[in-house]
Amino acid sequence: MRGIALAMLGPLLWGISGTIAQFLFEDIHVSSHWLVSVRMLVSGILLVIYGMVGNHKAEMAVWHDGKDALKLIFFSFIGMAASQYTYFMAIEAGNVATATILQFLSPAIIIIYLALWTRRFPRRIDVLSVIMALLGTILLVTHGRLTTLTMPLGGFLWGLATAVSSTLYTLLPRYLLKKYGSIPIVGWSMLIGGISFSLYYQIWDHMPPFSWTTYGSIGFVVIFGTMFAYLFFLQSLRFIQPTTASVLGSFEPLSATFLSIVFLGVSFGLPDTIGAILILGTVGVQAWAAYTTNPTSEK
């Protein structure tokens, strides 16, 4: 029960922070570049400090191997920073609901990539997942009218970029995570990405005007929507299997969609809802396939 609660709470905080980010973009006119930079920088600092306090040697271990350090730096830009940047750009260009749902095309992209890489035709369950993802995407972006794109083109393209970057975020660090653990890799990659973005964008020259609402919202995105969300979700893996955690990760788009409808006036019709269910259903299908292949692992 502890693992399930943590695996639900992490994505729930991600969904809430995405909704708050859309509010900051639309109502406060905070730049997505600035928010991504600050989010990664502050969260990276806090996660690295957390790791140092918990186990200093484990936190620094990755820097004692030159090849692994280079892999970490590469992942920081291509995986961590790219996934953060494309996600917030998708929210800014479209809305948080569609951005978060399109992000869940990642499993289908991984299936296609692995089929091409291994030169093996995917399993029937994988083909079903890809078909569900494609049909869901078509319904989501056309509202069921196949000749019309009913969401901003920029939001759609950035949403696809989010799915691709999420795929890279999932595939690239597997070796590093297995060798060094999640806290050091996530913390250092956020810090590296945050420093780089901050220096390039020069966040000190683009500070939003002070108000308690603005900086309270930014604080929630950085502290709860990033640092605690990652910690909760990663800690859940101590108690439950990754397949279970991946299904519970669907709480992110569900919470983001619900909040954006209630508080931001985003409308979802029947075709959009069916499309979202099909896309999110790919996670459940894959988790079910993994469980039935090795059911004792869940016990």
Q: What is the pLDDT of residue 43?
A: 94
Q: Which residues contact 106 (CB under 8 A, 6 or more apart)?
A: 163, 164, 166, 167, 170
Asked if 212 and 203 touch (Cβ cutoff 8 Å), the reply is no
Asked if 142 and 275 touch (Cβ cutoff 8 Å), the reply is no
Q: What is the pLDDT of residue 288?
A: 80
Cα–Cα distance for residue pair 276/273, rounded to 1 Å: 5
pLDDT tens digits along 252-287 = 888 888 888 888 888 778 888 898 899 888 888 887
Cα–Cα distance for residue pair 110/192, rounded to 1 Å: 26
Asked if 89 and 158 touch (Cβ cutoff 8 Å), the reply is yes
Q: What is the pLDDT of residue 243?
A: 63
Q: What is the pLDDT of residue 247?
A: 74
Cα–Cα distance for residue pair 47/45, rounded to 1 Å: 6
pLDDT tens digits along 158-167 = 999 999 998 8
| Structure-token pair, residue 56 | 């200093």
Mean of per-residue pLDDT scores for the chain:
88
Number of neighbours of residue 148 by Cβ within 10 angstroms: 9
Q: Is the pLDDT of residue 100 over 70?
A: yes
In this predicted model, which residue has the larger pLDDT, 238 or 111? 111
Please state the domain extents for the chain: 2-298
Q: What is the pLDDT of residue 261?
A: 83
The gap from C-alpha 74 to its chain's centroid, in whole angstroms, comes to: 18
Number of neighbours of residue 188 by Cβ within 10 angstroms: 26
Reported pTM: 0.87
pLDDT tens digits along 75-96 = 999 999 999 999 999 999 989 9
Q: What is the pLDDT of residue 164?
A: 94
Cα–Cα distance for residue pair 81/71, rounded to 1 Å: 14
Q: Is the pLDDT of residue 296 over 60?
A: no
Q: Is the pLDDT of residue 299 over 50?
A: no
Lowest pLDDT segment from 93-102, 200-209, 258-267: 258-267
Angle CA 93–95–101, to nearest 5 = 115
- Type of residue numbered 226: T
Asked if 253 and 140 touch (Cβ cutoff 8 Å), the reply is no
Cα–Cα distance for residue pair 143/148, rounded to 1 Å: 8
Q: What is the pLDDT of residue 231?
A: 86
Q: What is the pLDDT of residue 42?
A: 95
